[in-house]
Amino acid sequence: MNLTLDFNFAKTYKSRSQKIRVVTENWAGKNVYCAYCGKPICRFENNRPVADFYCSNDHEEYELKSKAKTIMTKIMAAQYDKMIERITSDKNPNLFLLSYKSESVNNFCVIPKYLLTTSVIEKRKPLSDDAQRAGWTGCNILINRIPEIGKVFYVKDGVVKEKNKVLEQFNKIAFLKQETVESKGWILDVMKIVEKIKTDEFTLQDAYDFEGELQNLHPENHNVKPKIRQQLQVLRNKKLIEFLGKGKYRKL
Ligand SMILES: [Zn+2]
């Protein structure tokens, strides 16, 4: 994988954002493989409203978002209702996030589409009455609400990861595809708190310390502690953590 971005491609474009779009799309089209099957991805001809790339093997689609220095933590997205419809109907593409430094790709990761749940969509304020599209409500995708394990890096801090490692990590979280929206939300939230615990080994109590935070995210639920235990068991069964006995766990 060659990390150099070829700016010769974008000579004719005046705007900086258009240049970046053309150059990064060109790079991804030449260097990136499908996260599901490892085959090279193809670019859609012409501009499609949502996706930029597809895999001809399994028809997975991808959208690319690029930013200078660090990968995006928040993406301004389309109309709120349309977005909710898109993610609940499974028509959402997977997301590629790219960051670049000078003329080189610094980070590149994929977020599988099934991690883009309603809990990462933030409704924006409706446009004010005097705006041209008064009442129009947009939304943001909150990338920082997705646990780190859900961001599968091909390139991290300028270092290219081995392809089989990338596909392996992507596969590790694939079980979430089958989960319902509700149970997926709980698993992801508990993954997120496990990541917040600084040490590799932790106790059940360390996880319980986040009870208040999880209660805020799930105000309708009044059994947060049993929910935490249940999700830790799921993570253990999926070999994301190990149970050491006596209320102790280790991250894998
Ligand atoms: Zn594929």
**How far does the centroid of ligand 1 lie from the alpha carbon of residue 84, in Å?**
25
Position 102 scores a pLDDT of 87
How far, in Å, CA of 108 to CA of 244, rounded?
34
DSSP 57-118: TT--EEEEEEEESS--SEEEEEEHHHHHHHHHTT-PPEEEEEEEETTEEEEEEEE-GGG--G
What is the residue-level pLDDT of the chain in tens, covering all 252 positions?
999 999 888 889 889 889 999 999 999 999 999 999 999 999 998 766 678 999 999 999 999 999 999 999 999 888 899 888 888 877 789 999 999 998 999 999 999 999 988 878 899 988 888 878 888 899 999 999 899 999 999 999 999 999 999 999 999 999 998 888 788 889 999 999 999 999 999 999 999 999 999 999 888 999 999 999 999 999 999 999 999 999 999 998
**How far does the centroid of ligand 1 lie from the alpha carbon of residue 136, in Å?**
36
Rounded to two decimals, what is the model's pTM? 0.88
How far, in Å, CA of 242 to CA of 71, rounded?
30
**How far does the centroid of ligand 1 lie from the alpha carbon of residue 235, in Å?**
26
**How far does the centroid of ligand 1 lie from the alpha carbon of residue 97, in Å?**
18
Q: Are 119 and 175 in contact, with CB atoms under 8 Å apart?
A: no
**How far does the centroid of ligand 1 lie from the alpha carbon of residue 54, in Å?**
8
Position 134 scores a pLDDT of 82
Helix, strand, coil percent content, the chain, rounded in steps of 5 = 40, 25, 35
Position 86 scores a pLDDT of 84
Q: Are 87 and 116 in contact, with CB atoms under 8 Å apart?
A: yes
Which residues have CB under 8 Å from 50's CB, separation 6+? 61, 63, 86, 92, 93
DSSP 104-171: EEEEEEEE-GGG--GGGEEEPPPPPTTSTTTT--EEEEEGGGS-GGGSEEEEETTEEPPHHHHHHHHH
**How far does the centroid of ligand 1 lie from the alpha carbon of residue 102, in Å?**
30
**How far does the centroid of ligand 1 lie from the alpha carbon of residue 34, in Å?**
5
Give the environment of ion ligand 1: residues with CB less than 5 A: 34, 36-37, 55, 57-58
Domains parsed from the chain with CATH numbers: 1-170 (3.40.210.30), 179-252 (1.10.10.10)
**How far does the centroid of ligand 1 lie from the alpha carbon of residue 20, in Å?**
25
**How far does the centroid of ligand 1 lie from the alpha carbon of residue 43, in Å?**
13
Which residues have CB under 8 Å from 249's CB, separation 6+? 201, 202, 203, 204, 207, 232, 236, 241, 242, 243
The single-letter code of the amino acid at 105 is V
**How far does the centroid of ligand 1 lie from the alpha carbon of residue 58, in Å?**
5
**How far does the centroid of ligand 1 lie from the alpha carbon of residue 45, in Å?**
18
Q: Are 3 and 155 in contact, with CB atoms under 8 Å apart?
A: yes
Edge-to-edge order in the sheet of strand 248-251: 201-203, 248-251, 241-245
**How far does the centroid of ligand 1 lie from the alpha carbon of residue 56, in Å?**
7
Q: What are phi and psi of 163, to 5 degrees?
A: -60, -45
Token pair of 76 as six digits: 């301004």
**How far does the centroid of ligand 1 lie from the alpha carbon of residue 82, in Å?**
26
Position 74 scores a pLDDT of 92
**How far does the centroid of ligand 1 lie from the alpha carbon of residue 30, in Å?**
15
**How far does the centroid of ligand 1 lie from the alpha carbon of residue 168, in Å?**
14
